[in-house]
Amino acid sequence: MSTFAIIMLAGTAFFAYQIYRHVNTLEDQKEEKSEPIIAPVESKPVNTSTALIDEADEAYSEGDLERALDKLTKANVLLPNNPEILNKVAFIHGKLGNTQSAIEWYKHSLELDDADDLTHNAIASIYKTEGSLLLAKEHYEKALQIDDAYSVTYYNYANLLADMGEMNQAKELYTRALELQEDFPEARAALDSLKGNE
Q: CATH number of the domain that 136 lies in?
A: 1.25.40.10
State the average pLDDT for the chain: 82
| pLDDT for the residue 198 | 60
pLDDT at position 107 over 90: yes
Averaged pLDDT, 15-40: 42
- Number of domains, the chain: 1
Higher pLDDT, 73 or 9: 73
Residue 78 lies in a domain: no
Residue 196 is predicted with a pLDDT of: 81
Range(s) of the domain holding residue 134:
114-198
Position 166 in a domain: yes
Cα 132 from Cα 129, distance rounded (Å): 8
| Predicted structure pTM score | 0.74
Domain membership of residue 194 (yes or no) is: yes
pLDDT for 124 beyond 60: yes
Residue 179 has pLDDT above 80, yes or no: yes
pLDDT in the model for residue 11 = 38
Q: What is the mean pLDDT of the segment spanning 132-136?
A: 97
Whether residue 191 contacts residue 178, with contact meaning beta carbons closer than 8 Å, is answered with yes
Q: Is the pLDDT of residue 24 over 60?
A: no
Residue 54's pLDDT band (cuts 50, 70, 90) = very high
- Is 14 within a domain? no
In this predicted structure, the answer to whether residue 143 has a pLDDT above a threshold of 70 is: yes
pLDDT at residue 9, rounded to an integer: 37
Q: What is the 3-state secondary structure (H, E, C) of 111-165?
A: HHCCCCHHHHHHHHHHHHHCCCHHHHHHHHHHHHHHCCCCHHHHHHHHHHHHHCC
Residue 45 lies in a domain: no
Whether residue 133 lies inside any domain: the answer is yes
Instruction: Please give the angle made by the CA atoms of 125, 128 and 126, to the nearest 5 degrees.
Output: 45
The reply to whether 28 falls in a domain is: no
Own/partner long-range contacts of 189-195 (Cβ < 8 Å, ≥24 apart): 190/155, 190/158, 190/159, 190/162, 194/162, 194/167, 194/170, 195/171
**Mean pLDDT, to the nearest integer, of 1-5?**
40
